[in-house]
Amino acid sequence: MSNNKKSKKWLEPRVELPTAQYRLITLASFVLPILIWCLVSYVPFIWHPNVQITDPGGVGYFKEGMMLKREVFDTESAKMASESKALPHGIPANPIYLPAPDEVVRALYTSFTTEPQRRSEQWLHESLWHSITVVFTAFFLSSIIAVPLGIICGTYAAASRLTEPFVEFFRYLPAPAFGALAVAVLGIHDGPKIAIIFIGTFFQQVLIIANTTRKLDLSLLEAALTLGAKRLQLLFKVVIPGVLPELYRDQRILLGWAWTYLIVAELIGTSSGITWFITQQARYKNFDNVFAAIFIIGVIGLLSDIILSRLGKRLFPWDKSSNKA
C-alpha cells in the first residue's frame, strides 16, 4: 500500500491533501472553467453557430458586421454561387450573449475608466456601492434581531415554542411576494428593497441560529452548573461563548443568502443598483458589460467570505474547525 500512497491520495475518502496538491487543485477550480470558456470562444468549430459578415458580396441585405445563423449564410452563399455572383465572406462567431474573455476584460476596464454614455446611467462602481449598502443594511437589521432571538430560542424551550412555529410557517412564504406590500408601506426607494432582503433572511436566520445554539454540548452546561453558574451566567458565560464560532459560520452563509435576495429586491419599486445596471446593459445587448458586472459580484462575494473566514480564525483561536476551513 505504501509504495503508491502518494499518487492515490485524492481517491481516498476524507483524507487531507498535501499542501502543494491542495493549492494546485484550488487553482484548477478557477482555471478550468475559464479554460473551457476560452476554448469555446477562441477555437472555431467547437461551437460558433453563427457567422459574422466581413464582406456582403452579392447578397443585397447582408451588411458588414452583421451576425446571422450559419445555415442562412450557407444557403445564401450557395445561391450566389449558382447565380455566379460575388460570394459573401464571414467569420465564424459565437452568439452575442456569449462574449469572449478579452471582451469582458475590456468591458470591465472601460466601465471603470470611461464615463457612462447616457446621463441617466450610473458608473458601475456607483451601482455596486448602492447594492452593497442595501445588502449590508438589510443583513445588519436582520441580524441584530434574529441572532439574539435565535440564541434565546435555542436556549429556552418556552421561547422556542412561542416563536419557532410561527417563524417556521412564515419562512415558507416567498419573500418577493411581499414586494407590492413593501412598496405600498415603505415607498419606492431603498425601503422596500431592504425589507425584501430582511424578510428573506430573517426567518431562516432565527431558525438556523436556534438550531446551532441547541447543538451546544449539554455537558458543558452541566459542568457549569456544578461550578455554581446560575441562570443568566449560563447564558452569557457558557451558551453564547460556546456557540459563537458556529454562529459566525452561519452568519457567513446567511450573508450569501442575503445577496441572492438582492436581485429580486432591486427590481422592486425603482430599479437600482447592480441589478439595474445588468438589466439596462442587457437591454442594449452589451453582454460584455453584463458579464463584467456578474463577475464583479462574484469577486466581491468571494473576497468578503475570505476576509470573514480569516477574521474568524483571529476571533476564535481556540476553535479547531475554523482553523481548518
Partner 1 sequence: MKPLVLPSYLDQDPAVKNRFDALKQRDIILDVKNLGKKFPSKNGEVTALKDINFVTHRREFVCVIGPSGCGKSTLIRILAGLESASSGEVLLDGKPVSGPGPDRGMVFQGYTLFPWLTVKKNVMFGLLNQGASVVHAESEAMQWIDLVGLERFADNYPDQLSGGMKQRVAIARALAAKPRILLMDEPFGALDAQTRAKMQAYLLEIWRNIDITILFITHDLDEAIYLADRILVLKANPGEVHELIEVSVPRPRNPEQFISPEFLATRKRLDELIHPPSEDDDDDKLNMIRFTQAGDDIEPNE
- Residues in contact with partner 1 by CB under 8 A are 217, 219-220, 222-230, 233, 237-238, 241-242, 244, 316-320
C-alpha cell at 315: 476571533
Q: Which is nearer to partner 1, 68 or 224 (CB)?
A: 224
Q: Smallest distance from the beta carbon of 140 to partner 1, in angstroms?
A: 25
CB of 226 to partner 1, least distance (A): 4
Least gap, CB of 315 to partner 1 (angstroms): 11
Angle between helices 240-266 and 287-315 (to 10 degrees): 170
246, 102 contact by CB (below 8 A): no
Minimum distance of partner 1 from residue 224's CB (angstroms): 7
54 closest CA partner among 87, 18, 29, 27: 87
Indicate the residue among 234 and 308 with the shorter CB distance to partner 1.
234
Of the pair 106, 214, the CB lying nearest partner 1 is at 214
Beta bridge partners of 31: none
CB 178, min distance to partner 1, A? 39
- Shortest Cβ distance from residue 122 to partner 1 (Å)? 45
Compare residues 96 and 225 and give the one whose CB is closer to partner 1.
225
Of 100 and 229, CB closest to partner 1: 229
- Cα dist from 70 to 74, 123, 291, whole Å: 6, 37, 25
Contact present, 184 and 125 (Cβ < 8 Å): no
Name the residue nearer to partner 1 (CB basis): 69 or 237: 237
What is the smallest separation between the CB atom of 235 and partner 1, expressed in angstroms?
Answer: 13
Q: Cβ neighbours of residue 253 under 8 Å, at least 6 residues apart?
A: none
Distances (CA, A) of 267 to 191, 203, 229: 13, 22, 51
Cα torsion at 51, 57, 59, 62 (round to 10°)? 50
Nearer to partner 1, 31 or 157 (CB): 157
| Sign, Cα dihedral of 236, 239, 245, 250 | negative
Q: How far apart are CA 107 and CA 150, in angstroms?
A: 44
Cell numbers describing residue 138: 438589510
236-241: long-range contacts at Cβ-Cβ below 8 A with a sequence spacing of 24 or more? 239/151, 239/154, 239/155, 239/213, 240/151
